[in-house]
Copies of this chain bind each other. A is one copy, B any other.
């Protein structure tokens, strides 16, 4: 477990890393905002002590520690807001990390399972006093964190969009089983994304309508904006699902058309030669009295007849547009 603290007020900002909560009291920022980021949930006693310091309800601690498989949600308590959501980790394939967020009047606590996150941009903005973050309260910091997560979603959605476009190009030609497996893979990813995005959308909507004293009125347009983003993410995912259904339809129709074409050509070849073989069979019979056999040009006539039959069938198939 690693605690990284960032404290700031409009005048300045500092940063500090510590392995446990024992020194925390000394470092808490009396006037400004403190952001405490906890990496690793392997020391439950430490987190329980942290919870005690900030007056966090035991059920919330349970949610932070044990329910990392839970769906995104937001809960309002007397002295803090609790938000849980998923963030995509690009570094490790298409995997989700559960992040818990506790917002009090002057502190934001984030709990992550593993080191490494997508919040470096926020950290830089705090340290360099870029943007509004230093002038605003803890609620804005929480907003900035969720906004960074939703931006991550859009990066993933864009990369899925690229993959889907590739699939669209391959849909007509691809005939491998792996194609359909790859598509099911994308579908599974979209399903995962949807399970992360939809409840987050609900949660942000609840944040907007909570009317909590922890969320200032100035934050309303920002939250609305965030809400619009999650809706757009959700809608893009639904559109992708429809596109994929269309791709599978094209692929299956194309593959069935391709097979049908092959089978038709093969069957036509057989169909042309089977009557010819029959004719050859007739003159291969060993009857004593077969007048044609003795007739000198008969062989060439039969060959000609065969050629005519073959030609006739080809023309017939052509006229019927079978070839």
Question: Which residues of A approach B to under 8 Å, CB–CB?
Answer: 57, 59, 63, 70-71, 73, 75, 77, 172, 175, 177, 180-181, 184, 187-188, 191, 195, 221-222, 224-225, 228, 231-232, 235, 239, 242-243, 246, 248-250, 252-255, 257, 259-260, 262-264, 266-271, 273-278, 280-290, 292-294, 296-299, 302-303, 306, 320, 322
Closest to A283 in B: B285
Evaluate contact between B177 and A224: CB separation under 8 angstroms: no
Q: How far is the CA of A188 from the CA of B246 in the complex (A)?
A: 9
Could you show 13 A-B contacts with beta carbons less than 8 Å apart?
A: A57-B221, A63-B225, A70-B228, A71-B231, A252-B253, A269-B274, A270-B271, A273-B274, A273-B275, A278-B280, A280-B282, A287-B293, A288-B293
Evaluate contact between B298 and A235: CB separation under 8 angstroms: no
With A232-B70, A288-B293 as known contacts, state yes or no: A181 contacts B177, CB within 8 Å: no
Secondary structure at the A interface, as helix, strand, loop or mixed, is helix
Closest to A255 in B: B257
Return the contact of A187 from the options B172, B191, B231, B246 (Cβ within 8 A).
B246
Return the contact of A270 from the options B221, B252, B270, B283 (Cβ within 8 A).
B270
Evaluate contact between A267 and B263: CB separation under 8 angstroms: yes
Closest to A285 in B: B283
Q: In whole Å, how far is A13's beta carbon from the nearest beta carbon of chain B? A: 22
